[in-house]
Amino acid sequence: MTTLAGKTALVTGAGRGIGLGCARELARCGASLVLNDRPGSPDLAAVAEELRGLGGSCWAIEADAFSRAGCEELMSRAVETAGRIDILVANVARSIRGDFLTYDPADFQRVVEGTLMSSFHIGQLAARRMVEQGQGGKIVFISSVHAETPYARAIAYNAAKAGLNHLAASMAVELLARRINVNVIEPGWIDTPGERATFGEEAVGQGGAKLPWGRLGTPADIGRAAAFLASDNADYITGTVLRVDGGFLLKDAR
């Protein structure tokens, strides 16, 4: 049984989608939560109220996790508010699709900064805090199957997620002696508001039936994996990529 009682987790991008799914599962396992979403988030306050209803402590902090200054502000306020950070679930990403030959270099930079650089920033700051606390910690990055498969019209996102996987592995090496576990989850096609906005309701509805598991993944599927990796049950796991995709990458092998 996964339990996170007595632990405090920081979840970025927690207003909706995968971040919200992770926050819900961590709360159900007994963790206290610091939830982050972008400034002006229309979702964060309601999410925090919902999760407080599960019986644990929950704080909401709006901050720009796409920038170093925003991550520094977030970490400072999180520690000031909650007292400590034992778990980080980093769900920071930006995706801009387009054809490679006409892809705007500025968009490429925005995606890499919003996906890879932001993960470095929040990951480094969380790890520093965990080292100061002296009791180890758990860092979980949300990557993507795009890290393994070079999908068309996603040149920047593919590269950023592949870089994120290697960033996490490199962090895991350097943090071994500190007993800080660093792992990655690779979601497949997950039913989120962002996916429905990108592909349309009809495509999302029909796409799930064609997948090996007969459905799209849910934010809760990713949340349960994050809760496991954040728990003592995963104490001997670090530098690992856990694919949670219902066989998505195996669909053409049948």
Catalytic residues: 144, 157, 161
Question: Quick one: CA torsion of 131, 132, 134, 136, rounded to 10 degrees?
Answer: -30
For residues 156 and 103, the answer to whether their CB atoms sit within 8 Å is yes
Exposed, middle or buried, 179 (CB in 10 Å: 0-12/13-18/19+)? middle
**Residue 121: CB atoms within 10 Å:** 23
Phi, psi of 109 (to 5 degrees): -65, -40
Residue 99 and residue 4: Cα distance in Å, rounded? Answer: 43
Give me the helix-helix angle, 44-52 and 17-28, nearest 10°.
20
Beta bridge partners of 37: 62
Residue 188 and residue 199: Cα distance in Å, rounded? Answer: 15
What the block records as the tokens of 123 is 């990951």
**Residue 71: CB atoms within 10 Å:** 27
Helices (H), the chain: 17-28, 44-52, 68-82, 105-112, 118-133, 155-174, 193-199, 201-209, 219-229
Residue with tokens 């007994």: 30
